[in-house]
């Protein structure tokens, strides 16, 4: 019985971790190619967690564009334009 509880607990933690990673990817304003910072084609846990550490600012001279930047150093991550 104790083994069953331990297995269920581990499974619950794995499901919670997968849900957290999935929600970080889904709600990030960045496309997957930007989240994958090393270009490996595989998202690591650190890349997924970094995807939530972005800010948004208007682009000077382009009011229809928003630049997403990394909070850690302020460098640009991605630019999105509405095309108006």
3-state secondary structure 16-81: HHHHHHHHHHHHCCCCHHHHCCCCCCCCCHHHHHHCCCEEEEEECCEEEEEEEEECCCCCEEEEEE
> Which pLDDT band holds residue 67 (cuts at 50, 70, 90)?
very high
> Which pLDDT band holds residue 13 (cuts at 50, 70, 90)?
very high
Asked if residues 78 and 36 have their Cβ atoms less than 8 Å apart, the reply is: no
CA-nearest of 52, 32, 50, 30 to 40 is 32
The tally of domains found in the chain comes to: 2
In whole angstroms, give the CA distance from residue 10 to residue 2: 12
For 53-66, write each residue's pLDDT tens digit.
889 999 888 888 99
Domain range enclosing 83: 53-84
The answer on 81 and 60 residing in a single domain is yes
The answer on 39 and 16 residing in a single domain is yes
């Amino acid at each position: 019985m104790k083994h069953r509880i331990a297995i269920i607990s581990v499974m619950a933690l794995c499901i919670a971790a997968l849900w957290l990673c999935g929600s970080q990817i889904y709600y990030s304003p960045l496309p997957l190619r930007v989240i994958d910072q090393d270009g490996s084609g595989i998202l690591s846990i650190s890349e997924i967690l970094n995807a939530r550490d972005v800010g948004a600012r208007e682009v000077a001279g382009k009011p229809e564009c928003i630049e997403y930047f990394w909070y850690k150093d302020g460098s640009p991550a991605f630019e999105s334009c509405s095309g108006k």
